[in-house]
Chains A and B, each alone.
Chain A
Amino acid sequence: MKIEFILNNEPQTIDVHPARRLLDILREDFKLTSVKEGCGEGECGACVVLMNGKAVNSCLVPAGNIVGKSIVTLESFKETKRYQMIESCFLEAGSVQCGFCTPGIVMATESLLSENPHPTDKEIKEALSGNLCRCTGYNMIFKGIHLAAERGQGLW
């Protein structure tokens, strides 16, 4: 099936089986390895990317559903000022250990803050509830996001 979509702000046209997972299109066809496969069943969040600005599990998205959509991964998001703020706050707060969950968490954070620039602690927890982290126990991730929201006046 011919699929036209926007990937990291550039229009793309591919011809793939309509059930091919967005995760594999990104990792294998476009070599965007920031997107990770942790479980393949939508239960870990390591594969989270933005689709039209909202966090989605790319392992659950068939190619047929990305037509006309805008997909953003860390490879382009990392060039933004919002990313710089998230990165510096995560480093200060100790939000990263093994790093495998981190790209999904960064994208989930962007999805949250772009919709809700001043989230409460409860809203941060809920927004992150689709991203597993086995290393940190989450509190230092909440702290990083909280700092980014606090210091990111005008960014979101």
Chain B
Amino acid sequence: MVDGFRPKTLQEALEIRLKTDCLPIAGGTDLMVQKARGFALKPDFDKPLLFIGHLPELNKISIEKDQIHIGAGVLLTDLLNSDKIPEIFKEAVCLMASPPSRNLASVGGNICNASPAGDTLPHLYAVDTQLVLKSAKGERKVPIDQFITGPKRTDLVKDELLTKIIIPNRIFGVNYYRKVGQRKGMSLTKAAFQGMADIEQGKLTDVRIAFGSVAPTIVRSREIEKTMIGKSVEEIKEEIPEILAKYAPLIRPIDDARSSAAYRKKVCLRLLEDFLRKMSKEK
């Protein structure tokens, strides 16, 4: 049995994926920890590894008209160093893990790991990210909120690889991101809030709101966002209690080793309120 494959091209990788039940690995910062067995022991993977982090096809960032195309293998550090990536997304990325881990970890890995606490996810959900999945047989595009189906579960088919992440090439007028961690550096997320909005002539023309780490998957409601579009900032300010009440049942955190459900829920609603107040001060 082969322990691992190191294909030279994406095509070669997809052909291996078609023929063999293998585990794709890019940076390995999640997988190497999940399968770790202790001091001086190698992690125990029960399938051959398919190394994909080095594939050139997965490592580009490009602007295609009104879209930004990000290769799934692009490192978190490279997102931070790229002038093509919106600042508000970088705010989330620069708080992830630590610099030595960001020098290894890929954005595609964070998505496919599909942790409820995945730090790239609130922003990617908020901007209606499209994911490109390729197999030797073809290609499909899936919205991120359909790709991630539950905690650590995705729609990835056995012969597929995530190859590209497509986000819109635009900047919002109002940008707000907060990660509440266990401490200031190298921390998992207790609760995360992403809020973005556009306001024209005192009226809300676009708003995106997403919460991380407080439900099995990222919390976002296009229905609630729609009810806010077209309203004036004064109306929004008055409706803050109702908006909070609408989001409250969607925020369903748990108690765990890092935080309590009660705190996580309260802090999400407080961050939402803070964002709405900030937004309602704009013109």
Any A–B CB pair closer than 8 Å? yes
User: Which positions in A face B, CB cutoff 8 Å?
Assistant: 1, 17-21, 24, 27-28, 37, 40-43, 45, 48, 51, 54-57, 59-62, 64-65, 67-68, 108, 111, 125-127, 129-132
Range class of the B interface residue count = 20 to 34
Report chain B residues within 8 Å CB of A45.
Answer: 98, 100
Report chain B residues within 8 Å CB of A17.
Answer: 3-4, 42
**Nearest residue, chain B, Cβ from A45:** B100
The reply to whether A54 and B101 form a contact with Cβ atoms under 8 Å apart is no
Report chain A residues within 8 Å CB of B103.
Answer: 51, 54-56
- Residue from A19, A41, A48, A57 with most neighbouring chain B CB atoms (10 Å): A19
4 extra interface residue pairs, beta carbon distance < 8 Å, beyond A1-B4, A57-B101, A125-B185: A19-B44, A41-B33, A60-B28, A61-B104
**Cα–Cα distance between A19 and B49 once the two chains are bound (Å):** 8
**Cα–Cα distance between A37 and B42 once the two chains are bound (Å):** 13
**Cα–Cα distance between A20 and B186 once the two chains are bound (Å):** 25
The reply to whether A40 and B36 form a contact with Cβ atoms under 8 Å apart is yes
The reply to whether B97 and A42 form a contact with Cβ atoms under 8 Å apart is yes
The reply to whether B45 and A1 form a contact with Cβ atoms under 8 Å apart is no
Number of A-B residue pairs, CB cutoff 8 Å, is 115
Report chain B residues within 8 Å CB of A56.
Answer: 100-101, 103-104
Partner of A130, one of B27, B45, B49, B100: B100
**Cα–Cα distance between A68 and B185 once the two chains are bound (Å):** 31
Report chain B residues within 8 Å CB of A65.
Answer: 25, 27-28, 51, 53-54, 104
**Cα–Cα distance between A41 and B54 once the two chains are bound (Å):** 22
**Cα–Cα distance between A131 and B53 once the two chains are bound (Å):** 24
**Cα–Cα distance between A93 and B36 once the two chains are bound (Å):** 37
Known contacts A18-B3, A20-B42: A62-B32 contact under CB 8 Å? yes
The reply to whether B186 and A130 form a contact with Cβ atoms under 8 Å apart is yes
**Cα–Cα distance between A17 and B77 once the two chains are bound (Å):** 28
Known contacts A40-B38, A40-B39, A130-B97: A18-B53 contact under CB 8 Å? no
7 smallest CB-CB distances across A and B, nearest first, come from: A130-B98, A18-B4, A129-B185, A55-B100, A64-B51, A130-B100, A54-B103
Q: A58 CB to closest chain B CB, in angstroms? A: 9
The reply to whether A42 and B33 form a contact with Cβ atoms under 8 Å apart is yes
**Nearest residue, chain B, Cβ from A25:** B42
Known contacts A37-B40, A54-B77, A130-B101: A60-B54 contact under CB 8 Å? no
Is B59 part of the contact surface with A, judged by Cβ < 8 Å?
Answer: no
**Cα–Cα distance between A130 and B186 once the two chains are bound (Å):** 6
Report chain A residues within 8 Å CB of B185.
Answer: 125-126, 129-130
**Nearest residue, chain B, Cβ from A21:** B42
Is B173 part of the contact surface with A, judged by Cβ < 8 Å?
Answer: no
Q: A54 CB to closest chain B CB, in angstroms? A: 5
The reply to whether A42 and B3 form a contact with Cβ atoms under 8 Å apart is no
Is B241 part of the contact surface with A, judged by Cβ < 8 Å?
Answer: no
Q: B17 CB to closest chain A CB, in angstroms? A: 16
Report chain B residues within 8 Å CB of A27.
Answer: 40
**Cα–Cα distance between A121 and B249 once the two chains are bound (Å):** 43
**Cα–Cα distance between A125 and B94 once the two chains are bound (Å):** 13
6 A-B contact pairs sorted by A residue (CB < 8 Å):
A37-B39, A45-B98, A60-B28, A64-B6, A65-B51, A129-B186
**Cα–Cα distance between A37 and B37 once the two chains are bound (Å):** 13
Partner of B3, one of A19, A68, A111: A19
Is B29 part of the contact surface with A, judged by Cβ < 8 Å?
Answer: yes
Is B151 part of the contact surface with A, judged by Cβ < 8 Å?
Answer: no
Among residues 18 to 62 in chain B, which have CB atoms less than 8 Å away from a CB atom of chain A? 25, 27-29, 32-33, 35-36, 38-40, 42-45, 49, 51, 53-54
